[in-house]
Amino acid sequence: MPEREPIAVIGTGYVGLVTAAGFAELGSEVWCIDIDEDKIAMLRRGEVPIYEPGLDEVLARHRGRLHFSTDLGEALDHARLLFVAVGTPPTPSGDADLGAVHAVVAAMPASDHHALVMKSTVPVGTGNAIKRVFREQGKDQFRYVSCPEFLKEGTALDDFLRPDRVVIGDEGDWAGDAVDELYAPLGAPIVRTDIPSAEMVKLAANAFLATKISFINEIANVCEVTGADVVEVARGIGLDDRIGPKFLQAGIGFGGSCFPKDVSALKQLAGNSGYHFQLLAAVLEVNELQKRRVVGKLQQHLGNLVGKRIALLGLAFKPDTDDMREASSLVLSARLQAEGAQVVAFDPIAEAEARKRVTGVEFARSALDCVRDADALVLVTEWREFKELEWRDVAEAMAGTLVVDGRNALDAEAIQSAGLRYEGIGRTPRVPLVA
Ligand X SMILES: NC(=O)c1ccc[n+]([C@@H]2O[C@H](COP(=O)([O-])OP(=O)(O)OC[C@H]3O[C@@H](n4cnc5c(N)ncnc54)[C@H](O)[C@@H]3O)[C@@H](O)[C@H]2O)c1
List residues binding ligand X (CB under 6 A).
10-16, 33-36, 39, 85-88, 100, 103-104, 119-121, 149, 151, 153, 257-258
CA triplet 377, 378, 384: central angle to 5 degrees? 105
Across the beta sheet with 115-118, the strand order is 66-69, 30-33, 7-10, 81-84, 115-118, 143-146, 166-169, 190-193
Chain position whose Cβ is nearest to ligand X? 13
When the beta carbons of 68 and 422 are compared against ligand X, the nearer one is: 68
Report which residue type is found at 292. R
Q: State the nearest-atom distance from the C-beta of 257 to ligand X, in Å.
A: 5
DSSP 3-state of 413: helix
Beta strands in 273-406 (DSSP E): 309-313, 342-346, 362-363, 376-379, 402-405
When the beta carbons of 104 and 157 are compared against ligand X, the nearer one is: 104
Q: State the nearest-atom distance from the C-beta of 30 to ligand X, in Å.
A: 14
DSSP 3-state of 29: coil
Among residues 32, 147, 223, 258, the one annotated as catalytic is: 258
DSSP 3-state of 289: helix
* CA-based radius of gyration for the chain: 23
Q: State the nearest-atom distance from the C-beta of 148 to ligand X, in Å.
A: 7
Q: State the nearest-atom distance from the C-beta of 394 to ligand X, in Å.
A: 32
What does DSSP assign to residue 401? Answer: -
Residue 381: how many CA atoms within 13 Å on its side-chain side? Answer: 30
Phi, psi of 134 (to 5 degrees): -55, -45
When the beta carbons of 100 and 409 are compared against ligand X, the nearer one is: 100
When the beta carbons of 16 and 22 are compared against ligand X, the nearer one is: 16
Residue burial 286-322, b: 16+ Cβ < 10 Å; e: rest? bbeebbebbbebbeeeeeebeebbbbbbbbbbbbbbb
Q: State the nearest-atom distance from the C-beta of 151 to ligand X, in Å.
A: 5
Q: State the nearest-atom distance from the C-beta of 285 to ligand X, in Å.
A: 22
What does DSSP assign to residue 433? Answer: P
Nearest Cα to 6, choosing from 78, 112, 94, 101? 78
Q: What is the DSSP string of 91-114?
A: PTTSSB--HHHHHHHHTPPP-SS-
When the beta carbons of 258 and 378 are compared against ligand X, the nearer one is: 258
When the beta carbons of 66 and 370 are compared against ligand X, the nearer one is: 66
CA pair distance 143, 80, nearest whole angstrom: 10
Q: State the nearest-atom distance from the C-beta of 256 to ligand X, in Å.
A: 7
When the beta carbons of 126 and 408 are compared against ligand X, the nearer one is: 126
Report which residue type is found at 102. H
Q: State the nearest-atom distance from the C-beta of 149 to ligand X, in Å.
A: 4
Report which residue type is found at 290. Q
When the beta carbons of 353 and 423 are compared against ligand X, the nearer one is: 353
Annotated catalytic, 258? yes
CA pair distance 358, 346, nearest whole angstrom: 12
Residues designated as active site: 258
